[in-house]
Structure 1
Amino acid sequence: MIPVDIIVLTLIIICALGALAAKDLMVAAIVIGAYSFLICLLLAVMGAVDVAFTEATVGAGVSTVFFVATVFQTTRRTKD
């Protein structure tokens, strides 16, 4: 049986690579939010619940909202 932390770490690496490979800014912002949530989950599995809660509120919550709001304020110059 594979430990949960190895599975979460694999998903974190996939999200990191997905954020780097994303062509659309909205997709990148959402994948970064998922990355932050997975970091929160990994911290909770490791036993750092207080740090996980802070990461969930700041990293996965507020930062993702700011990223998405910023992307909505931008316009496209070309239609790719």
Structure 2
Amino acid sequence: MQRMGARRYHVLFTDVSLPGMSGVDLAREALVRHPHLKVIFASGYGDMLLRHLDFPYQSLQKPYELDQLQDALHKVADQLRTGA
């Protein structure tokens, strides 16, 4: 979170499970500061932990391939271009 306060980011790419704070909590806190931030989660647990989120996100099931990450980033880039 400290780094997010120092710079402007367009995308938050985080694991769902992090030490000390969940990726979901990190995303919620980051979105308060940067409401237009796009969120991509990586998880080995599937979407089970993400079902009830109240913000848009994309998720990648671990292990994921490089082309899946590239597809997610292309979608984010399209959203940023169109203002979605």
TM-score by length of 2: 0.36
Structure with larger RCO (C-alpha < 8 A, sep 6+): 1
Greater helix share, 1 or 2? Answer: 1
Greater strand share, 1 or 2? Answer: 2
Please say which structure displays the higher CA radius of gyration.
1
